[in-house]
Chains A and B, each alone.
Chain A
């Protein structure tokens, strides 16, 4: 029996959009800028109003690409490598109840029980993490995250590589594999936890999310997976929006301390300054265009809810935690990009992957994919309206589930019948 010793943290994505007021120009600015500052003021007001929309559309696209990539990787793997769809009775310790039962009722009961166990593990881990964060046990958190990303980058990718080679019937020797995994892992650790080119970092985060999603797809029993997906969205909703929810507390604590909200475990798109800054000149341009205007930042702070995946690559946990930002402006400059929690990537991919694995039909897979993207759009829209931390899972997962079940049970037989009778509409 295969046990995963790892305790994972599933990241819930919450999205925040905060509006900051125009920052006063510091006195140290050279005189030439002062004049332009005055001139910029009337323009600022107009730009302020336009900004949410401009910001929203561009950043929606910036999020679509990585989410799509992750899902594409997962679906491609599921369709080609049969390992991840084989069920050989192994299950994670978090879902102890088997689904090979005699009656439907028992199966349902078992899946519900599995879900309850899983969600409680997640809740406990989240609360643990929030408590650690509150009491500033940064070293512990950092160590934990490093361990989890180590595991992800080395062990899971080793497994993945092995399965891919077996599928394509290639011979491979240990020294070469060792070199490949060693390189992949070490550069990944460097990129994620230290400094590295932004695109490489993003690629690694996507890779890790995909790996984790594949693990989930393999080891979660059928019905439990769907119930868990539903339950996690509800949990996300509760945890982020309720006043005493752990994720909300996390967000608020980080805001009080003026720290970026768990920069680790977040996928950040383009414009981060601190770690992973590949080309400061390039990044300077967008900010120059917005100088003087209200610094809008879209924070997707995610609640680190914990579930099985602890491997969420914590991107810049060390840099994030160790820097305490003195002014709000620092944060604004840094978080100009859009961030989405890795847990969201993972669960979106799990949904689409499961649809690909069990549905077997491209209609279903595509429908789920479209549903998730629509959900993401809507969530971002809500973010622009409400301007505070929002969970990203509920809407997308709900749409995804609805689309999956309806396509599987209604659309597919319909299309099959039409095709069988050669009736084209």
Chain B
């Protein structure tokens, strides 16, 4: 639909609803092991939430952006820990290490 043809108030409301719904859906799906989705959410709506002049739904958008940001950071911490552990102890774990490995480097134990 053509947003330009709508009078300003309606356009603004629609826009907000669109973003609101959008943010909501995206945020919830992030719980399905999707830190990247949360990152996209944060980056995309950062301006909307924090930079733009206040409007009604902005508070909720802010909440979602913050939640997404926290979730993303949490996942980053978890993943970094796991990767560090794996890379360090891969050789020592022997069979389990090989079983978990997707690619095994050649020439290095």
Hey, which bits of chain A sit against chain B, CB under 8 A? 26, 28, 30, 162, 165-166, 169-177, 179, 182-184, 186-187, 190-191, 195-197, 200, 273-274, 278-280, 284, 287, 323, 327, 329-330, 333-334
> Can you pick out 5 interface pairs between chain A and chain B where the beta carbons lie within 8 Å of each other?
A171-B104, A172-B103, A173-B101, A197-B44, A280-B15
Q: Confirm or deny: B70 has a beta carbon within 8 angstroms of a beta carbon on chain A.
A: no
- Find chain B residues with CB under 8 A from A170 CB: 103, 105
Given A172-B101, A333-B2, check contact A200 B40 (CB 8 Å): yes
Q: If the complex has contacts A169-B105, A171-B104, are A279 and B40 also in contact, measured as CB distance less than 8 A? A: no
Report the Cα distance A323→B2, complex, angstroms: 11
Contact A165 B103 (CB under 8 A): yes
| Chain A interface SS verdict (over half) | helix
Select B100's contact among A28, A30, A173, A179, beta carbons within 8 Å: A173
Judge if B77 is at the interface, Cβ distance under 8 Å.
no
Q: A171-B103, A190-B37, A333-B2 are in contact. List 15 more A-B contacts (CB 8 A).
A: A26-B5, A162-B103, A165-B102, A166-B103, A169-B105, A169-B107, A171-B108, A173-B90, A179-B79, A184-B36, A186-B37, A190-B26, A196-B40, A273-B3, A280-B3
Tell which of B2, B86, B107, B108 touches A176, judged by Cβ atoms closer than 8 Å: B86
Pick from B2, B29, B82, B101: contact of A171, CB under 8 Å:
B101
From the candidates A176, A287, A323, name the one contacting B79 in the complex (CB within 8 A).
A176
In the assembled complex, B94 has its CB within 8 A of some CB on chain A:
no
In the bound complex, what is the Cα–Cα distance between A71 and B75 (angstroms)? 33
Contact A187 B34, beta carbon cutoff 8 Å:
yes
Bound Cα distance A28, B6 (Å)? 9
A28 to B43, CA, bound (A): 37
Contact of B1 among A171, A197, A287, A323 (CB under 8 A): A323
Residues of A within 8 A of B36 (CB): 183-184, 186-187
CB neighbours of B35 from chain A (8 A): 183
Whether the Cβ atoms of A182 and B33 lie closer than 8 Å is yes
| B4 at the binding interface (Cβ < 8 Å) | yes
Q: Hey, which chain B residues are within 8 Å of A327, CB to CB? A: 2
B87 interfacial by beta-carbon distance below 8 Å: yes
Q: Which residues of B contact A169 (CB under 8 A)?
A: 105-108
Q: Are A186 and B2 in contact, with the CB atoms below 8 A?
A: no
Complex: A170 Cα to B108 Cα, angstroms: 10
B 45-82 binary contact with A (CB < 8 Å = 1; else 0): 00100000000000000000000000000000001001
**Chain B residue at minimum C-beta to C-beta distance from A180:** B36
